Amino acid sequence: MSVADGFDPDGVKCVVWDLDGTLWDEIAVESPTDDLPAPRPATLAAIDDLAARGVLSSIASRSAPSVLDRLDAVPGLRARFLAPQVSWQDKSESLRRIAEELGIAVEALVLVDDSPYERAEVEALLPGVRTLDPADVPALLAAFEGREITPESRARVGRYRTEETRRAEGARFRGSREEFLRWCDMRLTVGAATADELPRALELAARTHRLNSSGLTPDRLRELAAADGHELYTARMTDRFGDYGIIGAALVDRGPDTPGVRDGAGTASATWAVPLLALSCRVAGRGAAAAFLFRLMERAREAGAEEFRVTLRPTDANLEMRILLRQAGLRRTDAAVPGPADASGAPVARTAPAEAAVLGRTLGGDVPGPPAWLHVSDREDTEA
């Protein structure tokens, strides 16, 4: 698939590079010495340009595994690649492993390979993966021109490297998974988004799929976040290995009244509605998504809300989010999908992505708490 064929750079999280004929001109296993072939300067520049935009790079090469050992001996080159795969296995299998190790959907990968056969094999077995000839790389870079680069984007590659360290420590840890998570000393802070956090929230809306409740577009999120009665919340996380940055965003619709909204008869309904809940896939499996959701529910109750609702648009990718919402006690309601009010405060027609539904629950009784290994606080408290 060429860059011109419906290419969406927002969906690209990692570019996977072939080695022989792509990263360098020669065939590494045929080298008379242990030195690797010299990488093409333009390709290295492209990898660095992508990294500055928050796009990861990896390797999928059908070659002797010893080539990866030789790559490890060149730290400046090896550091550019995450979860590299060098073996005689099919490229499609290598891409599956890369996606699994990085914790991203395989459809978020792009393969750059000089071999038409290898590209065809991947397209046949992984039809959601785009494949490019090395000659298409300039067009790939051009597709990202004009896209806003957030601080989170610039830090993304470094954070994935930290994740490699975290994963390695987990493999060496002597104890249960929960004991390891406790040892990590994970801390989540939740608070109202500041103006400089809005670009990251828009990025989460566009780039996350596994932990995205509604698929709200960035433009629609920006519009709703500026509407009366709405507030955007973000979640940050750290652990003993470093700072994850902003890993979650949630848009809350409290309507024209505070804390609740009013129905057409003017009766206070005291409802917090969440048109979008989105979290980075980097925190999947650590309880952060549940902790963020539960803290929003607690804040809603503290503000006087009696009901909590989330807009859900089921997709093939967001099963994890659907399970989370069900575990939190949210069930389908007949309520209208959340949206803004007009200038007078009267409700207006509310729109949502196709097949969207509203899940809700009352806030009476117990609200689930965060996992025992995750410390949760409000950002306002930590900054006081």
Residue 383's pLDDT is what? 62
SS3 assignment, position 30: helix
pLDDT (tens, 9 = 90+) of the chain, 384 residues, equals 455 555 678 789 999 999 999 999 999 988 888 889 999 999 999 999 999 999 999 999 999 999 999 999 999 999 999 999 999 999 999 999 999 999 888 999 999 999 999 999 999 999 999 999 999 999 999 999 887 787 888 888 888 989 889 988 999 999 999 999 999 999 999 999 999 999 999 999 988 888 999 989 999 999 999 998 899 999 999 999 999 999 999 999 986 443 334 343 334 458 999 999 999 988 888 999 999 999 999 999 999 999 999 999 999 889 999 999 999 999 999 776 654 444 444 444 444 445 789 999 999 888 889 999 999 999 876 665
The whole-angstrom distance between residue 156's C-alpha and the CA centroid of its chain comes to 11
The percentage of the chain sitting over the pLDDT mark of 70, rounded to a whole number, equals 88
Residue 384's pLDDT is what? 52
At CA 137, angle to CA 134 and CA 142, rounded to 5?
A: 165
Query: Considering the entire predicted model, what is its pTM?
Result: 0.75
Nearest CA among 172, 309, 328 for reference residue 252: 309
Q: Domain extents for the chain?
A: 9-144, 151-382
Which ranges constitute the DSSP H helices of the chain?
41-52, 66-72, 75-78, 91-102, 116-125, 137-144, 151-172, 177-183, 198-207, 218-225, 288-302, 319-327, 379-382
**CATH level 3 topology of 9-144:** Rossmann fold (3.40.50)
Residue 5's pLDDT is what? 59
The string of pLDDT tens digits covering residues 310-365 is 999 999 889 999 999 999 999 999 776 654 444 444 444 444 445 789 999 999 88
Nearest CA among 124, 90, 128, 138 for reference residue 108: 128
**CATH level 3 topology of 151-382:** Aminopeptidase (3.40.630)
Q: How far apart are CA 308 and CA 365, in angstroms?
A: 13
For 31-50, the DSSP string reads -SSSSPPPBPHHHHHHHHHH
CB 9 within 8 A of CB 24: no
Domains 9-144 and 151-382 share a fold: no
The whole-angstrom distance between residue 248's C-alpha and the CA centroid of its chain comes to 9
Strand (E) or helix (H) holding 297: helix 288-302
The string of pLDDT tens digits covering residues 103-151 is 888 999 999 999 999 999 999 999 999 999 999 999 999 999 887 787 8
The string of pLDDT tens digits covering residues 265-274 is 334 458 999 9
Query: How do 357-362 and 331-332 pair as beta strands?
Result: antiparallel
SS3 assignment, position 240: coil
For 351-366, the DSSP string reads --STT-EEEEEE--SP
